Amino acid sequence: MKKKLIFGLITLLGISLLVGCGGKTASEPKKEETTEKKVVVGFSQVTLDSPFYVALMDAAKAEAAKQGAELVYVDAQNDIEKQNNDVQDLITKGIDVLILNPSNPTGVNPALAAAKTANIPVVTVDRPTEQPVATFVGRDNKKMGELAGEQAVALLGGKGKAKGKIIEIQGDAGGKVMMDRRDGFHLAVEKEPGIKIIQGPYSDYTRSKAVKAFQDLLQANPDVNLVYAHNDDMALGALQVLQQNGLAGKVKIVGVDGLMEAIKAIETGNYDATVLNDPQLLGSTVVNTALGVLKGEKYPEFIDAGTGLITKENAAQYVDDKLVFAATKK
């Protein structure tokens, strides 16, 4: 009996020593590994049927990846009802912040209301909304239109002497960008009594629609001296028609956006000017801003990404075969 008691005490002593030396027992809690949740940025784009918006989206995706965030995007296809539904879907998927390029400044109100209910901050890009959001990242499109108008006046003889007929190819009906680029242009050009403006139909910023519209416009106005389009893609559509009619280089062309194809046409003399609208800078800036808003940073109501005029005198500085649109010079 004594031997059994001594053996039992020795066994207990051994177990105690093992525990004291760092041995683990079954009841010791395990350490849980924690992983930080990746921020999800939702982006509702007005359309991807435009090289400008494709470039903007590509830059946004690249910047989100660089910042360690996930970007989920949807294409509204210029349909406000689809855009409102798209935003609701993004909210359901669990986004943390919403970037919105509205197809209509007021029609997108249901999407804004849904985001507010879900406590998701909204940053708009390129086009503003009438309802307040965290901030708007874009450009002064009225100023851009004015720069184009001032250049048109210079190309047609200069202030006080300018003469000629201008055909204007417009963007989308009712769009804020369209109205600003139109109004700014008219502000500069209508000061000249010798200039007449023929306003063409809305071509939705697409080249194919501009080609069709300009064919009819040229036939009705063979004495046109200058074409102004609300973006370069439409202006290049007009150039295509002018080339088909042997008028390339004879009719002046002014566009907006800084499309690389347009800048190269400026170098060859078939195009005269474009107003810089760097989509790469917009894309990266809006993602950085959206992530900042999520962290509680405060921004002004409007963040102006800036602009500038590209003409034959400075076009060579902006040519870059790696880019679809000219980059802002710092």
First-to-last alpha carbon distance for the chain, in angstroms, is 93
Give the tens place of pLDDT for each residue, 238-288: 999 999 999 999 999 999 999 999 999 999 999 999 999 999 999 999 999
- pLDDT for the residue numbered 2: 41
DSSP 62-122: HHHHHTT-EEEEEE-TT-HHHHHHHHHHHHHHT-SEEEE--SSTTTTHHHHHHHHHTT--E
Q: Where are the domains of the chain?
A: 40-138+279-299, 141-276
Write down the mean pLDDT value for the chain.
91
Q: What is the CATH number of domain 40-138+279-299?
A: 3.40.50.2300
Give dist(CA 328, CA 140) in Å, integer: 15
- pLDDT for the residue numbered 174: 84
Strand 195-202: give its sheet, edge to edge: 195-202, 164-170, 226-229, 252-257, 273-276, 309-311
**Please, what CATH class does the domain formed by 141-276 belong to?**
alpha beta
Question: What percent of the chain lies above the pLDDT cut of 70?
Answer: 89
Does an H or E element contain 172, and which?
A: none
Helix (H/G/I), strand (E/B), else coil: 175: coil
Give the tens place of pLDDT for each residue, 97-127: 999 999 989 999 999 999 999 999 999 999 9
Indicate if the pLDDT at residue 182 is higher than 70.
yes
Q: Confidence band (pLDDT; 50, 70, 90) for 180?
A: very high
- pLDDT for the residue numbered 316: 96
- pLDDT for the residue numbered 13: 40
What predicted TM-score, i.e. pTM, was given to this entire model?
0.82
| Signed CA dihedral, 281, 285, 288, 294: sign only | negative
Say if residues 167 and 227 touch (Cβ distance below 8 Å).
yes
- pLDDT for the residue numbered 16: 43
Fold match between domain 40-138+279-299 and domain 141-276: yes
- pLDDT for the residue numbered 147: 98
- pLDDT for the residue numbered 133: 98
Q: Among 22-31, 133-142, 210-219, 310-319, which is the least confidently predicted range?
A: 22-31
